[in-house]
Chain A
Amino acid sequence: MLLEIRWHGRAGQGVKTAAYLLAEAAMDTGKYIQAFPEYGAERSGAPIAAFTRIGDEPIRIHYGIRTPDVVVVVDESLIGAMDVTSGLKENGILLVNSNQSPEIYRQKLPSFHGKIATVDATQIALDCIGRPIPNIPIMGALIKASGIVSLEDLEPRLRHKFSAKFSEQVVEGNVKALKRGYEEVKIL
Chain B
Amino acid sequence: MKVALETNQLIALAMKQIEPHVVAAYPITPSTEVVQEFSQYVANGDVKTEFVPVESEHSAMSACLAASLSGARVMTATASQGLAFMWEMLHIAAASRAPIVTIVANRALSAPINIHGDHADAMGARDTGWLQLWAETAQEAYDNTIQAIKIAEDPRVRFPMLVNYDGFTTSHAVETVEILEDEQVRSFLGAAPKPKYSLLDTENPASFGVLALQDYYMEFRRAQAEAYKNVKDVVLEVAEDYAKLTGRKYGILEEYRLDDADVVLVAMNSAAGTAKETVDYLRKQGKKVGVLKIRLFRPFPVEEIRCALGNAKSVVVMDRAYTYGGPSGPLFEEIATALVNETNKPLLGNVIAGLGGRDITMEDIEHVFDLGFKALEKGNFEPLVSWVGVRE
A62 in contact with B274 (CB, 8 Å): yes
In the complex, which residues of chain B have a beta carbon less than 8 angstroms from the beta carbon of A37?
172
In the bound complex, CA of A33 to CA of B166 (Å): 18
Contact with A along B3-20 (1 / 0, CB 8 A): 010100000000000000
Chain B window 168-183, contacts with chain A (Cβ cutoff 8 Å), 1 for yes, 0 for no: 1110111110000000
Is A61 in contact with B274, judged by CB distance below 8 angstroms? yes
Query: Is A23 engaged at the interface, CB distance under 8 Å to the other chain?
Result: yes
A61 to B170, CA, bound (A): 11
Residue in A24, A34, A60, A64 with the greatest tally of chain B CB atoms within 10 Å: A60
Inter-chain residue pair count (beta carbon < 8 A): 59
- Of all chain A residues, the one with the shortest Cβ separation from B166 is A62
B282 contacts the other chain (CB 8 A)? no
Cα distance A37–B357 in the bound complex, in angstroms: 13
- Give complex CA distance A88, B2 in Å: 31
Q: Are A62 and B170 in contact (CB under 8 A)?
A: yes
- Does B335 have its Cβ within 8 Å of any Cβ on chain A? no
Chain A residue contacts of B119, Cβ below 8 A:
none
Interface centre among B116, B136, B361 (most CB of A within 10 A): B361
Q: Is the CB of B172 within 8 A of A33?
A: no
Contact call A63/B360, Cβ cutoff below 8 A: yes
- A75-93 toward B: CB 8 Å interface, digit per residue (1/0)? 0000000000000000000
**Is there contact, CB below 8 Å, between A36 and B169?**
yes
- Interface members, chain B 365-384 (any A CB < 8 Å): none
| Inter-chain contacts of A61 with B (CB < 8 A) | 273-274, 277, 362
Residues in A whose Cβ lies below 8 Å from that of B6: 20
- A166 cross-chain contacts in B, Cβ below 8 A: none
Interface string of A1-34 (1 = CB under 8 A from B): 0000000000000000000100110010000111
Question: Complex formed: what's the CA distance from A66 to B363 in Å?
Answer: 11
In the bound complex, do residue B274 and residue A23 qualify as a contact, i.e. CB atoms below 8 Å apart?
Answer: no
B175, A34: Cβ atoms under 8 Å?
yes
A32 to B173, CA, bound (A): 13
Q: Give the nearest-CB partner of A39 in chain B.
A: B168
A35 at interface by CB-CB < 8 Å: yes
Contact indicator per residue, chain A 58-72, by CB within 8 Å of chain B (1) or not (0): 111111101000000
* Structural contact, A60 and B276, CB atoms closer than 8 A: yes
Q: Assess the A60–B274 pair: CB atoms within 8 A.
A: yes
Bound together, the chains give a CA A136 to CA B6 distance in angstroms of 20
B281 to chain A, nearest CB (A): 10
The 8 Å CB contact of B361, one of A34, A59, A66, is: A66
Kindly state whether residue B241 has any CB partner on chain A within 8 Å: no
Q: Which residues of A contact B355 (CB under 8 A)?
A: none
Query: A36 and B173 in contact (CB under 8 A), knowing A20-B4, A27-B2, A61-B362?
Result: yes
B175, A59: Cβ atoms closer than 8 Å? yes
Contacts of A58 in B (CB 8 A): 176
CB of B304 within 8 A of chain A? no
Q: Which residues of B lie under 8 Å from residue A23 when comparing CB positions? A: 4, 174
Residues from chain A with Cβ under 8 Å of B277 in the complex: 60-61
Scan B183-200; emit 1 where CB is below 8 A from any A CB, else 0.
000000000000000000
A20 touches B273 (CB 8 A): no
Q: What's the least CB distance linking A67 to chain B, in Å?
A: 11
| Chain B residues with CB under 8 A of A34 | 173-176
With both beta carbons as reference points, the residue of chain B lying nearest to A35 in the complex is identified as B174
Q: Which of A27, A36, A39, A60 contacts B176 (CB 8 A)?
A: A27
Instruction: List 7 additional A-B contacts (Cβ < 8 Å) besides A60-B274, A62-B270.
Output: A24-B174, A27-B176, A33-B174, A60-B273, A61-B274, A62-B271, A63-B360
Residues of A within 8 A of B (CB): 20, 23-24, 27, 32-37, 39, 58-64, 66
Instruction: Please give me the 5 A-B residue pairs with the lowest Cβ-Cβ distance, nearest first.
Output: A36-B173, A62-B270, A60-B273, A63-B359, A35-B174
Can you show 14 pairs from A to B with CB atoms below 8 A apart?
A: A23-B4, A33-B175, A35-B4, A35-B173, A36-B172, A36-B174, A37-B172, A60-B274, A62-B166, A62-B169, A62-B270, A62-B271, A62-B274, A66-B361
